[in-house]
Amino acid sequence: MTVSGALEVIGDLAKNVPELYVGAGTVLDTDTAQRCVDAGAQFLTSTGFVREVVEFSVQRAMLFVSGALTPTEVIQAWQAGSDMIKIFPCGQVGGPSYIHALKVPFPQVPLIAAGGVNQQTALDYMLAGATALGIGGELIPKEALQRKQDHRIRELARRFLTTVKDARRRMAAS
């Protein structure tokens, strides 16, 4: 919700690309959550723990990814009903080693590494225990958007997906 016209983008994607699972990010209150759902969002996420938005999502049986940084926030978000916990900004507080440290006391909690994830660090995050990766500017550079370089965005997405699949294969083999 930090991007201008976010609700219009959500609505357009939900209507015109039905095979896409469309979500809304940085949802910080229930009014915004409802507007996102009305626009067609199928899941919600926040940058931090916002209990009322978690409860909103739980009441609607809707996937919700709560943001957290500290162990206390992870516990609160998980106990409130978040489906996954997005550790943000992960790169600035230790990166993959921080994900690994959180997985020790929280092996049952699916953690998403977000903030500072790039092509060079993605594999390390996955091998450290991240269930998924939150990737922003590294996936969709502003220049690629401005020049409408969908081939570039697709290639970056393919590379990240290959990294995730490789990490999951390695973890399954060990």
Per-residue model confidence as pLDDT tens digits over 145-162: 788 888 888 888 898 899
Q: How confident is the model at residue 144 (pLDDT cuts 50, 70, 90)?
A: confident
| pLDDT digits 0-9 by tens, 83-111 | 999 999 999 999 999 999 999 999 999 99
Say if 161 falls within a structural domain. yes
Burial class (CB in 10 A: 0-12, 13-18, 19+), 75: middle
> Comparing 149 with 23, which gets the higher pLDDT?
23
pTM recorded for the entire structure: 0.89
Structural domain count, the chain: 1
Torsion angles phi and psi, residue 67, rounded to 5: -85, 150
Residue 134 to residue 114: CA distance in whole angstroms: 4
Cα 84-90-93 angle, rounded to 5 deg: 140
Residue of 116, 111, 157 whose CA lies nearest to 131? 111
Say if 102 falls within a structural domain. yes
Provide the residue type at 50 as one letter. V
**% of the chain with per-residue pLDDT over 70:** 100
Six-digit token string for 119: 């092509």
Say if 155 falls within a structural domain. yes
Say if 1 falls within a structural domain. no
Say if 129 falls within a structural domain. yes
Say if 59 falls within a structural domain. yes
Q: Across-strand partners of 89?
A: none
Residue of 119, 72, 125, 65 whose CA lies nearest to 95? 125
Say if 40 falls within a structural domain. yes
Q: Residue 110's domain spans which residues? A: 6-173
CB 43 within 8 A of CB 63: yes
Statement: residue 142 has pLDDT above 90: no
Find where tokens 């409802």 sit. 34
Say if 112 falls within a structural domain. yes
- Report helix, strand or coil for 48: coil
* CATH assignment of the domain containing 35: 3.20.20.70
